[in-house]
Amino acid sequence: MTAIAFLDLCVTLGFVMVMAALVIGFVRLAIGPSLADRVVALDMMTITIIVFCGIYAVFTGDTSFLDVAIVLALIGFLATVALARYAERRYERDNSHGEQEDD
């Protein structure tokens, strides 16, 4: 097996595994019983799409997809931080509301 054929095989297997991970993440996003499950699934899907961009950059030899991956990583980080702040405020609101009823 030549080096080019081996690289093509690895890229193809990488694409298949990334697509499987994306499907698994989407299923967890759709049926996740809690907000935390959905946030983790969304973060996993973002990372999976970043990996897809990296593999595609290797496949085509076009480095501009690495720039796309960096931008997606920044957006994914900001989205995770925003969702974490939302979950924290929701938790504080629910707990403070429960304490007021006990008084």
Domains and CATH numbers, the chain: 3-102 (1.10.287.3510)
Q: What angle do CA 25, 29, 33 make, to 5 degrees?
A: 125
Residue 48: the pLDDT is: 96
Alpha-carbon separation of residue 17 from 1, 20, 21, 51, 55 (angstroms): 22, 5, 6, 10, 11
Q: How confident is the model at residue 84 (pLDDT cuts 50, 70, 90)?
A: confident
Say if residue 80 is exposed, middle or buried (CB neighbours under 10 Å; 0-12, 13-18, 19+).
middle
21: tokens are 């991970």
Contact between 66 and 54 under an 8 Å Cβ cutoff? The reply is yes
- 2-61 tens-digit pLDDT: 888 998 999 999 999 999 999 999 999 999 898 888 889 999 999 999 999 999 999 999
